[in-house]
Structure formats: C-alpha cells, structure tokens
Amino acid sequence: MNKREKMYKRIEKHGNDLIRLFPDTVELDPIKLCKKLRTIELKAERITLELCNGVPSARAVAAEAQLEKIHDKICQILGVTRRWQHLFINRDPRGYALKLSEEFAQDKQIYKDWGGYGILAPDFGGEA
C-alpha cells in the first residue's frame, strides 16, 4: 500500500468514526465528510492566525463573526444543535481549530490531540 492509499485509509477511518459519533450528520460518505470538515478547518485556522497576529478592532469583530458562522456550519454538518456544548473553535493558531471537548472525546474512538481534545479535521497528509 502506497502513501496515498494509507492516507485515504486513515481519512476513511476518521470519517467513519465521526459518522458513528454523529449519526445525524448530513454527509454519510466518510471521505466527503472529512474533506468538507478539512476545508472548513483550514478557513478557521487562517482566521485564528489573523486574530492572533493582531488586526484592527473592526476586522476582529468581522473575524469573530466568521468564526461564529463556521461554528454554525459545523453544527449543521454534524447534525447537532447550536447550543451543543462539546464543539468549539480553538482560538490558538498553534493547534487545530475545530475541536470537541475533552469530556466528550475521552472515551470515544476519535482522533485526539495531546490535550485529549477530539479533532474534527486532522491533517493526515503528512503522516506515514
């Protein structure tokens, strides 16, 4: 199995894990689900990096509004309510942006960071 095939196996497994955790998700194809989430993750990462680097207050307000729209979009994709407390956007640009709380992720089969948070859209491209 080559590197690309291994990467897609990891993506497919992660997508299936997400579908098991979120049975009301609007996307039941594990690869498509992961690609949608990864695209949104990259957008959120760009916004959090911009905020970290310092922007005028008007731009910061607009960026926060963009992050709120991203949060709403993720809730819609996963089939959870806006008030669901375990989904959040990490504002620290050194890590993944789209995360699930430690409490929710701790006993679940899902990709986690070192802090134990569930990661919705990890980058599997650089792993062997």
pTM above 0.85, yes or no: yes
117, burial (CB in 10 Å: exposed 0-12, middle 13-18, buried 19+): buried
Mean pLDDT by 10 residues, the chain (128 residues): 91 97 96 97 94 84 94 96 92 92 95 95 79
* Beta partners for residue 88, in sequence order: 99
Residue 59 has what pLDDT?
83
Q: Which two tokens stand for residue 60?
A: 């910061």
Which residue is associated with the tokens 């062997």?
128
Cα-trace Rg, the chain: 15
